Structure 1
Amino acid sequence: MSDRIDSAAGSRFVVTSNHGFSAYAQDELRALLPGTKFDELVPAEVYVMRSPQSRNGTIRAVAAKEPIFVRHLHPVDADVPTSGTAEDMARLAAAVEAAYREVAVVPAHGAETETASASTVAVQIRKAESFDGDYTPAELRDAVASSLRETFGVETVVKDSDWIVSVFLAAETAYIGVSTAADNLSDWAGGAIRFRKEEGQVSRAKFKLLEAEYAFGLDLSAFARSLDIGAAPGGWTSLLLERGSEVTAVDPADLHPDLLGHPNLTYLKRNAGDVAFKPDSYDLLVCDMSWSPRQMVKLIVPLLAALRPGGTAIVTLKLMHGKPFQTVKDSVRAMQPAMELRKAKQLFHNRDELTVYLQKKFENAETL
């Protein structure tokens, strides 16, 4: 990467958070990168981060301690004034070519070349509501993809690409970046992970667990026995059953009738506070309840004994009091010393909540 792109004088990134939570994300980023400043693009959601560190230094700092409330970011390798007319597309495609050549092609080949045949590229175009143009993001995406194919011979794909070209269209400026999915924290545009609603789907809550699987690098099919606390109507239970797990679902409310009778389902229509299980009998414990974190943790703690050492817990924490960092800290502390926090993240499918991934410690973990 050239010195022009990775400037020691500082760097800029377009950053996205769930709507209404950008202030928390900015607090996290300032703690990681003292001196960082922000310019709003979409109120309380998308903003330009001006980091005092270099492009690569900023990426490394964010990756080393991924913020809870940053959903997605991409570097600003070029910004181009826009008029909103169709003439923008040719200028933006040319600017993308220049950024791609400097970031992806020259470092890979040691000298400028017009071929990068080993690379696949995803082109992601987003816009602010304030953008008013004669062309659509889809039309610009097609123009940019065509330009990259013709100039560099790359294959443009939707997912699992070697490189991501990001363009954010603000009111009068387009912010362009070339990066990898790891640099962006997500390979979805803006970190907005979208799943197709299935016919007969029990509830949209299923999407939260699907996204947690992706965000935390888990494989739900690896868990042979699962315990779902507060399971009704059964969105998370249904996904675990699809993955082949034997599921014990606990809730005094009704599960969806389509789940009843499943050979791998044990349904306890009771309050979780009134049940007990054999120690070390489950690989996975999940809980997605609309209770306050304090109530929910109080309910879960006695059930942690049922989770085997090394087992996983995925828990949704409702942010009911406007103190998200303290909520995570207090909730994890209440589950110690049995559990270790692996990652906390506000997912795209979270609303006024976040999701934590914990792992049960081995008894002699401190000596391992």
Structure 2
Amino acid sequence: MSNPLPPDTHTWLGSADPDFLDLAIREIEAADPEAAVQRLKEAPGLVWVCSQRSFADLAEAWQADPPIFLRHICPIHQERRLAEGSLVELRLDGEMLAAIDPALSFSVQTRLFGERNLKPFQVNETLAEQVIAAVGSPLEVKDPQQVISVVILAQPMGIRAWLGLSLAAQNLSNWAGGIHRFRRDPEQISRSEFKLLEAIQVFQIPLVPGGQALDLGAAPGGWSRILRLYGQQVTAVDPGDLDERLSQDPGIRHHCLSAQAYLARGPGRFHLILNDMRMDGPASAHLMVAFAPHLEPQGRAVMTLKLPHQHRLRVLRQSLEILGSAFPLVRARHLFHNRSEVTLYLQQGIPAPQSAVSTT
């Protein structure tokens, strides 16, 4: 029998990109209008929340219908005051240890704000060793089933630490704070490659072995390179040149055209269409709708939607409304590797969740 989690809590921490924190708070308030939300100025992008709905209730709702801008949540089951640099005071107590399921893998995820005498890996290692010795749960850092979240915040009045235990699926992301890290590949062409890698993981995009993929606005070729790593046959469309390292790859066909000119030629059909072009949001949405007939049944698309600093929600709503005419499924997330944009996952043949068009 699985051990129960600690008594459900109504206090928790939410994380978002600091530039999009206002929109993340709107998502929290839309889910629970009575929630008390406190910005933590020492920790940009982090909010402390006391909600009327329990953490488990909100987590279940957001699992089914994920928010766009709120990137990560974790419960607060205990709060500690720490002496500077002390690891001893961070040992888990009996109640927390008793709640850890020995049959499920676990990870310790630590975030530090303002504290320079500690490193996250030190806290992770100390608490992981305690769990393994006391409970016997298997440690799995990258894809755990349960997570011990630790947030340490240095404030003028002293150092505070919040600890919580949750199932990884409840946290919206398996990564601490929703911060996805990828090892830099020596063959990397552009930083934008990380955006596609993260999108594939977050949206769990199935890629057809040997599938046909269309990369619109491909230059200099970062997304095309990633597609090839996943075994896709790539049609790259861009009037600009691709990185010379891709020129010898027979799995990449480069059409030196604009996306609009390529569309006028009557392209074939694809399992996946990508669009990372720097276009106005509604214009980019109209372009994707125009390419939708060239997707195979159940075909998928990934695009980044550029959001101006002003009128972000208006542009997002307009673009999603346009896309909805061709793609019944539209999911949007502000990923860690996004900047002033969101990444959209589009699919044909499946009804869209309500949040995909409401956007708070």
TM-score normalised to structure 2 length: 0.88
Could you report, residue by residue, the CA deviation over 1:172-202 in whole angstroms, capped at 9, with x for unpaired residues? 2101011121111111111111111111211
Q: Does 1:122 align with 2:107?
A: yes
Distance 1:202 1:279, change over 3 A: closer
Aligned partner of 1:150 among 111, 125, 133: 133
Tell me the CA shift for residue 152 of structure 1: 1.2
- After TM superposition, the structure 1 stretch with the greater mean CA deviation from structure 2, 295-304 or 72-81, is 295-304
Q: Is contact 1:228–1:286 with CA below 8 Å preserved after alignment?
A: yes
CA contact (8 A) 1:5 1:55 kept: no
Match of 1:109 in 2: none
Report Cα offsets for 1:262-296 as digits up to 9, x if no partner: 21211111111112354761111100012221332
Match of 1:94 in 2: 92
1:216 aligned to 179, 199, 203, which one? 203
**Rounded Cα–Cα distance in structure 1 between residues aligned with 2:4 and 2:253:** 59
Q: TM-score, normalised by structure 1?
A: 0.87
1:279–1:305 CA contact under 8 A, matched in 2: no
- Pick from 195, 198, 205 the counterpart of residue 182 of structure 2: 195
Tell me if 1:19 matches 2:18.
yes
Kindly indicate whether residue 230 of structure 2 is the aligned counterpart of residue 243 of structure 1: yes
Q: Within 2, Cα distance between the matches of 1:156 and 1:299?
A: 46
What is the alpha-carbon distance in structure 2 between the residues aligned to residue 273 and residue 345 of structure 1?
26
Alignment of 1:314-333 (within 5 A): 314-333=302-321
Amino acid at match of 1:234: G
- Look up the match of 1:365: none
1:356 to 328, 331, 344: 344
Does 2:162 correspond to 1:165? no
CA contact (8 A) 2:105 2:138 kept: yes
Q: Structure 2: how far apart are the matches of 1:206 and 1:274?
A: 25
Contact 1:81 1:174 (C-alpha < 8 Å) held by counterparts? yes
Q: Secondary structure at the match of 2:283?
A: helix
SS in 2 for 1:194: coil
Q: 1:200-257, CA deviations, whole angstroms, 9 ceiling, x for partnerless residues?
A: 2111211111110111111335471111110100111111122121111111111111
Aligned counterpart in structure 1 of residue 171 of structure 2, from 184, 188, 208:
184
What stretches of structure 1 of length at least 5 have no aligned partner?
Answer: 106-115, 363-368
- Separation in structure 1 between the aligned mates of residue 5 and residue 224 of structure 2, nearest angstrom: 51
- Give 1:3 shift: 9.6
1:284-299 to 2 correspondence within 5 Å?
284-299=272-287
Deviates more, 1:261-270 or 1:68-77: 261-270
Cα offsets for 1:93-113 (capped at 9, x unmatched): 134x532423x34xxxxxxxx
348-357 vs 315-324, which deviates more? 315-324
> Does the residue aligned with 2:338 lie in a helix, a strand or coil?
coil
SS of alignment partner, residue 344 of structure 1:
strand
Report the CA distance between 1:346 and its aligned residue: 0.4
SS of the equivalent of 2:315 reads helix
Alpha-carbon distance between aligned partners in 1 of 2:187 and 2:324, rounded to the nearest angstrom:
39
Alpha-carbon deviation of 1:70?
1.2
After superposition, the Cα gap between the structure-2 partners of 1:181 and 1:322, relative to the gap in structure 1 and judged at 3 Å, is farther
- Structure 1 CA distance, aligned partners of 2:287 and 2:61? 36
> Mean alpha-carbon deviation: is it higher for 146-155 or for 35-44?
35-44
1:61-100 maps to which residues of 2 (within 5 A)? Answer: 61-86=61-86, 89-95=87-93, 97-100=94-97
Q: In 1, are the aligned partners of 2:81 and 2:161 still within 8 Å (CA)?
A: yes
1: CA distance, partners of 2:57 / 2:182: 33
Segments of structure 2 that go 5 or more residues without pairing to the other structure are 351-360
Q: Percent identity?
A: 32
1:306 counterpart (291, 294, 304): 294
Give the one of 308, 319, 330 matched to 1:342: 330
279-288 vs 252-261, which moves further: 279-288
- The answer on whether the counterparts of 2:55 and 2:75 sit within 8 Å (CA) in structure 1 is yes
Does the 8 Å CA contact 2:150/2:162 hold for their aligned counterparts?
yes
